[in-house]
Amino acid sequence: MTRLVRSPLGIAALVAMVAAGSWATITLVRAVVPSTVFELEGDIDDDVAGIDDWINNNCANPDASHASTKTGAVPDPFGQSIYTGGGSKDAINIPSWKYKNGSVPTKDEIVNSYAARYGDVIVLGGERESNDGSSNIGAWFFQNSIALGTGSGGGGQPFTGSHKNGDILILAEFTIGGTVSDIRVLEWVGNAGELCPGNVACPPPAGDGNGVLADITASALNAEGFSNQSPVTIPATCPEWSYTDNHGVSGIFGVNSFFEVGFDLAELNLGNACFASFLLETRSSHEISAVLKDFSLTNFEACEIGCGKSVAPAEVCQGTSATYTITADNPGGAALNATAVDSIYGNICMPDTAGAACQIGTPCPAGSSSPFLLQGHSSRSCTLTVTPGAGTYVNNLTVSGTTVGGGAGPDPKVCSATLKVNPNPSVTIDSLLACTYASSFTLHSNPTGGTPPYGLLWNTGDTTQNITKSATGLYSVTVTDAKGCFNNAARNVGYCSD
């Protein structure tokens, strides 16, 4: 049987805060119990209609995940990517971490890791190769993108990337024959002078956190964690998810080999923060200072904002309009308040109607907005039609965003489009009137400007620069330059005036 444990340490700490009269320090949020949006109970099967379990996220069949972000089952092959060196500690920043290929005791060998996001609820899980003894796991959610470096160095290979204040570390302890006995939630606060998500002061660091980790377990009232109390079998219809234990048995997680944890970012004051990377690790103990063992690192949310800018046509003649299409894109799961600023046309007001004309102005005209809401996994675009004078226009569009509800957003993105407006040529016809009778006269055209060479076309059908005619009447010529831009001139001949 499984047993539900909701962060007993957190509840105890909250009771202590209340007893100490510290209510004012608690931000009241509408907390979500993670198991109401994801099946957290110690198995992977989809038992409740409309609520996902891991087979919905990790298997193509059934492909019915409701997650805004999911990693799928990320394999961590035996003998790869383990921590090494004394700087590889949770309370030391990532540039000091080192890894190597190697193995750890089977009870600490991660086989697969996975995580998913449902609104502000994050769930994570994994399996270890054996259940021979208790195990401690840690799960990092990093706002910056963290990856494995390739440079060699003393004592192992480096990681790339660095902490941002507000990164989350969940510690969970699995004891023999038990479920998750304790969940501890910590927040990185070690970047001096940097605010936490929501642009608020970070919580104070914990005494045992090396001055860089704050213990926010007291806020994590609804955090839940479970391990499996009976064997769990991966369905045969799910080849994407493979598991073999230390005895060579495949497809079945022995008791206490699988674990799953869920927590609500909103009650941690981190709602709508975006986490680019997820790392699951095994640890020597529940202490912050524990020796770190195996890990599995993968991308989580795409904490990026994207921009797109194009213009059609990209080259026009003077006096002809061209239309820019301006796009802001949010590939991540967290909603953003976005702005788009054009280096020539200024602040872009995004229309409420998709694809409608961009508006410009401060404040924005009715029916448009800036900043504008950019939901996760969505994009918004508008069009801007312009008719500028001759010249080459390279304009940059800068799209930036902050997370809804506060918090530093992703790095701004700049994209550009180039519009070339070619000058039109001009043409005159030399004055040559036929008032004085002559049997013939010559009209001489003078094309200038634009982009030579020129093509000429008279209304007589002639294409030469000069034409010699005898009949009076209206003569006109059209000059077309190398860019297809044109102009024309006309003369009346025989009336002693133009």
Please give the residue ranges that form the binding site for Ca ion (CB under 5 A).
39, 43, 45, 47, 53, 76, 81, 294
**How many other C-beta atoms are found inside a 10 Å radius of the C-beta of residue 381?**
19
Torsion, Cα of 208, 170, 100, 211 (10° steps): -30
Nearer to Ca ion, 39 or 224 (CB): 39
Please state, in angstroms and rounded to a whole number, the distance separating the CA atoms of residues 92 and 159.
Answer: 12
**Side chain identity at residue 326, one-letter code:** I
**Minimum CB distance to Ca ion, residue 293 (Å):** 9
- Closest contact distance (angstroms) between CB of 45 and Ca ion is 5
Closest to Ca ion by CB, 148 vs 357, is 148
Closer to Ca ion by Cβ: residue 47 or 208: 47
Task: Decide whether 39 or 120 has the Cβ nearer to Ca ion.
Answer: 39
Can you tell me the distance from the alpha carbon of 325 to that of 50, in angstroms, rounded to the nearest whole number? 39
Total Cβ atoms within 10 A of residue 101: 12
Cβ partners under 8 Å of residue 77, min gap 6? none
Torsion of CA 366, 367, 371, 376, to 10 degrees: 160
Written as one string, the DSSP assignment of 138-180 is: EEEEESS--EE-----TTSEEEE----TT-EEEEEEE-TT-SE
Q: Which is nearer to Ca ion, 260 or 304 (CB)?
A: 260
Residue 191 CB coordination number (10 Å)? 17
Q: How far is the CB of 64 from Ca ion (least distance, A)?
A: 13
Which one, 84 or 472, has the nearer CB to Ca ion?
84
Closest contact distance (angstroms) between CB of 4 and Ca ion is 12
Nearer to Ca ion, 70 or 491 (CB): 70
Q: How far is the CB of 296 from Ca ion (least distance, A)?
A: 5
- Tell me the closest approach of the beta carbon of residue 402 to Ca ion, in angstroms: 34
**250 DSSP β-pair partners:** 244
**Least Å distance between CB 220 and Ca ion?**
19
- What minimum distance in Å lies between the beta carbon of 108 and Ca ion? 10
327 vs 382: CA distance, rounded Å: 7
Q: Which two tokens stand for residue 406?
A: 């506060």
| Smaller CB separation from Ca ion, 31 or 51 | 51
* Neighbour-count burial of 211, counting CB atoms closer than 10 A to its CB (0-12 exposed, 13-18 middle, 19+ buried): middle
Three-class secondary structure of residue 10 per DSSP: helix
The torsion defined by the Cα of 213, 217, 218 and 220, in degrees rounded to 10, comes to 130
**In a 3-state reduction of DSSP, which class is residue 218?**
helix
Which residues, listed in sequence order, are joined to residue 380 by a DSSP beta bridge? 328
